[in-house]
Structure 1
Amino acid sequence: MTTLSRPDLSDIHRGDWVDRRLPTAWRPYTRLARLDRPVGIWLTLFPCWAALVQASRGVPDLGELALFTLGALLMRSAGSTINDIADRRFDGHVERTRFRPLASGQIGVPRALVFLAVQLALAASLLFFLTPYARLAAICVLPLVFVYPFCKRFTYWPQAVLGAAFNWGMLMAWAEVAGHIPVGAVLMWCGAVAWQIGYDTVYAYVDVKDDAQLGLKSTALLFGRHGRACIGLFYLLAVAAWSIGGWMQGMSLPYAMGMLVISAHLAWQTLRIDLGRPEVNFRLFLANILTGILLTGAAFIGTM
């Protein structure tokens, strides 16, 4: 009789390029910054790039593109470090996170705090290249970055806080390029938050059993068996906000075609969700990289 092996849901895989190519001393810091798991970086970058394209009415200035790309990388990495510090006592009991550096004892809190200080200092240095308005917008996101890791202790909506922080670069892009943040840009940001609530809930279903045992909260636990319908609703809200926001910004007809493609992709994702199969949900979470690519592409063709 053949038994099916349980899928490995750990987000750190021993023997990967970090273990093969980097010095031992560098490995825990690379994993703290999530450089070995860049999906979150891409999910942060694509909405930011889309906003830069819309604000620039076409191809963004290369200097601004480089600045926002580096800023998204540094702040996402710093946010990941903060999250691992805050969750170090929980991560060791969760299958997906049990091998993270702090949870597994590869690195201590003092060294992680020093690393975080370096990350934040590098991110702060980028502020000197921003306009005063964009600089103020950047500072305003810091409370969200620091409060997010603790949200799962007292609210079922940590995904909403994460979505607001993750996609803040969209507002900053308008502040930097245009000198103001129009209503259409705010709607685009709201759409990105709704999108992230959707895909991060898919991700949360991977941990739902462990989170319930640890007394943590998430939208996956809140939605329960109605998860597919709720995720589909947030995907619908995302497309609606992106469509109206794009229209308010004067996007051309090809942008609407891009929204139709995104709608079809998100509908396919929703139909594929299987609440009882974490490995399927994890692959669907990864599929949102394509959603980000499509959003950026739609913004570009919408300016033509």
Structure 2
Amino acid sequence: MSFLQKKLGLYLDLIRWSRPAGWLLLLWPTLGALWVAAGGFPGWHLLSVFVLGTILMRSAGCCINDVADREFDKHVKRTAQRPVTSGAVSVKEALGVGAVLALLSFALVLTTNRLTVALSFAALAVTLIYPYAKRWVSMPQAVLGLAFGMGIPMAFAAVQGAVPPLAWLLFLGNLCWVLAYDTEYAMVDRDDDLKIGMKTSAITLGRWDVSAVLLFYLIYIGFWALALMPYALGAIYFVAIGVALVQVAWHYTLIRQRTREGCFKAFRLNHWLGFTVFVGIAASYSLP
């Protein structure tokens, strides 16, 4: 293997290229908001901007996160071999890769409008803050939820040139979804995080973690169902909501014993829940 091939492999590992679940969790609510804002298919330009921008910014976020957490990650089983933590990629390299990806994403945003560009700065600020929130905030997953939800107001801004109250309702609902799946993720590392003094929702919630995850899921689905009800999306959307609720019940069976394997599986499967809700929205607008 050549030097360049080896470096490319390390950079792809740095941005979690082989694990697309992360950017899919960002993508589905963003696309759902894009379809609602446009009243259907938003056009190839905006679809391309938001799909590519989501992938690029999630990848940039991974670079920032790994640099910020490199000393903590050494003590966590799941993260000890990440490229920055292991020393295979230097801090300077990781920050350089992250900067290039963020600039490419910003170039895409510049093809939209001023409000969307302004919101992209807010999204970047929260992305930069999140890795350090885990040191000081008892529920850092809420900060992640702010970062992961910024695609929703940006989607409305790009289509309508404004961010209506509906966008913020969907944003709040999505925040609860992030709290649900990232608490599942935190439950995987709880033992290690307790040893190194990291703050997570799984630690803060304690024995109420499973109940809280279920509540967060129900609030998310309830917010999206009720907020979009006046838009008469039709029966197919509510069938999708029903399928999403079935998935929530399945997640309960995976996390109720709090095993690492069960909690990690539940986290990895969350993108299917988001996909289900998005399909319900897109299909409703597609039908006559």
Structure 2: 5+ residue stretches without partners = none
Which residue of 2 is the match for residue 72 of structure 1? Answer: 54
Residue-by-residue CA offset, 1:28-66 (whole Å, 9 max, x unaligned): 211121112211011111111111111121222011101
Instruction: Please tell me whether residue 147 in structure 1 is matched to residue 129 in structure 2.
Output: yes
Normalising by the residue count of structure 1, what TM-score does the alignment of the two structures yield?
0.89
Which residue of 2 is the match for residue 220 of structure 1? Answer: 202
Normalising by the residue count of structure 2, what TM-score does the alignment of the two structures yield?
0.94
Which residue of 1 is the match for residue 180 of structure 2? Answer: 198
* Aligned residues of 1:262 and 1:291 also touching (Cα < 8 A): yes
Q: CA deviation at 1:248?
A: 4.1
Instruction: Please tell me whether residue 92 in structure 1 is matched to residue 74 in structure 2.
Output: yes
Q: CA deviation at 1:283?
A: 0.8
Instruction: Please tell me whether residue 113 in structure 1 is matched to residue 125 in structure 2.
Output: no
What is the DSSP-based 3-state SS (H/G/I as helix, E as strand, rest coil) of the residue aligned with 2:188? coil
User: Which region of structure 1 is more displaced relative to structure 2, 260-269 or 248-257?
Assistant: 248-257
Which residue of 2 is the match for residue 56 of structure 1? Answer: 38
Q: CA deviation at 1:206?
A: 0.6
Q: CA deviation at 1:252?
A: 2.9
Q: CA deviation at 1:264?
A: 1.9
Which residue of 2 is the match for residue 182 of structure 1? Answer: 164
Measured on the aligned residues, the alpha-carbon RMSD in Å equals 1.7
User: Which region of structure 1 is more displaced relative to structure 2, 146-155 or 239-248?
Assistant: 239-248
Q: Percent identity?
A: 36
Distance in structure 1 (CA, Å) of the matches to 2:257 and 2:101 = 36
Distance in structure 1 (CA, Å) of the matches to 2:254 and 2:99 = 41
Query: What one-letter code is carried by the residue in structure 1 that aligns with 2:39?
Result: R
After TM superposition, the runs of 4+ consecutive aligned structure 1 residues lying more than 4 A away are none
Structure 1: 5+ residue stretches without partners = 1-18
Distance in structure 1 (CA, Å) of the matches to 2:208 and 2:155 = 36
Query: What one-letter code is carried by the residue in structure 2 that aligns with 1:213?
Result: K
Distance in structure 2 (CA, Å) of the matches to 1:236 and 1:85 = 34
* Aligned residues of 1:40 and 1:76 also touching (Cα < 8 A): yes
Which residue of 1 is the match for residue 248 of structure 2? Answer: 266
Q: How many residues align?
A: 285
What is the DSSP-based 3-state SS (H/G/I as helix, E as strand, rest coil) of the residue aligned with 1:153? helix
Distance in structure 2 (CA, Å) of the matches to 1:298 and 1:64 = 20
Query: What one-letter code is carried by the residue in structure 2 that aligns with 1:188?
Result: L
Instruction: Please tell me whether residue 32 in structure 1 is matched to residue 14 in structure 2.
Output: yes
Instruction: Please tell me whether residue 173 in structure 1 is matched to residue 128 in structure 2.
Output: no
* Aligned residues of 1:227 and 1:275 also touching (Cα < 8 A): no
Query: Which structure has greater helix proportion?
Result: 2
